[in-house]
Chains A and B, each alone.
Chain A
Amino acid sequence: MHTHTPSTPYFVTTQTRASQITMMLAVALIAVLIILPFFAGRVLIQDMFFILTMLVLAQFWNLLAGYGGMVSIGQQAFVGMGAYAMFGGVILAGIDPIPAILLGGLASLIVAVPTAFFAFRLQGPYFAIGTWVIAEVMRLVMAQVKALGGGTGTSLPRSATREMWATEWIAELFDVRNSAARDILTYWLALALAVATIIAIYALLRSKPGLALSAVRDNPEAAKSVGVDAGRMKWFVFLTSAFGTGLAGALIYVQKARISPDAAFSVTDWTAYVLFIVIIGGIGTIEGPIIGVIIFFLLQSLLADYGSWYLFTLGIIGIVVMLFAPRGLWGLITEKTGIQLFPIRRRLSGGPLDTSKY
Chain B
Amino acid sequence: MPILALQNVSKSFGQLKVTQDVSFEVPEGQALGIIGPNGAGKSTLFNLITGNLMSDAGSISFEGRDVTRVPAMQRCFAGIGRSFQIPQPFANLTVFENLLVAAMHGRNASQKAVEQACAEIVEQTELMSVANNAASGLSLLQRKRLEMARALATDPKLLLLDEIAGGLTDAECVALIDTIKSVHARGVTIIWIEHVLHALTSVVERLLVLDFGKVIGIGAPDEIMNRQDVREIYLGIDV
Contacts and interface: CB of A to CB of B under 8 A. Distances in A.
B76 A353 contact: no
Interface in A187-242: 208, 211-212, 214-215, 217-219, 221-230
B100 A211 contact: yes
A214 B92 contact: yes
Contact of A1 (B72, B118, B124): B124
B116 A345 contact: no
Contacts of A211: 93, 97, 100-101, 104
A348 B101 contact: no
A226 B128 contact: no
Chain B interface size, under 10 / 10 to 19 / 20 to 34 / 35 or more: 35 or more
A14 to B, nearest CB: 10
Contact of B123 (A9, A219, A222, A351): A351
Contacts of B51: 224
A2 B94 CA distance: 21
B111 A12 contact: yes
Contact of B132 (A4, A347, A350): A347
A208 B88 CA distance: 20
A219 B91 contact: yes
A1 B126 contact: yes
Contacts of B102: 226-227
Nearest to A4: B123
B89 interface: yes
B105 to A, nearest CB: 4
A109 B179 CA distance: 49
B100 A346 contact: yes
B66 interface: no
A333 to B, nearest CB: 17
Nearest to A232: B73
A222 B84 contact: yes
Interface string A333-351: 0000000000001111011
Contacts of B129: 358
Contact of B131 (A215, A221, A229, A348): A348
29 contacts: A1-B124, A1-B126, A2-B124, A9-B116, A12-B115, A208-B105, A208-B110, A211-B93, A211-B100, A211-B101, A214-B90, A214-B92, A214-B97, A217-B92, A218-B90, A218-B91, A218-B92, A218-B93, A222-B90, A224-B52, A224-B71, A225-B52, A225-B84, A226-B154, A228-B101, A229-B105, A346-B111, A347-B94, A358-B131
Interface of B: 50-52, 71-73, 76-77, 81-82, 84, 88-94, 96-98, 100-102, 104-108, 110-111, 115-116, 118-119, 122-124, 126, 128-129, 131-132, 150-151, 153-154, 175, 178-179, 182
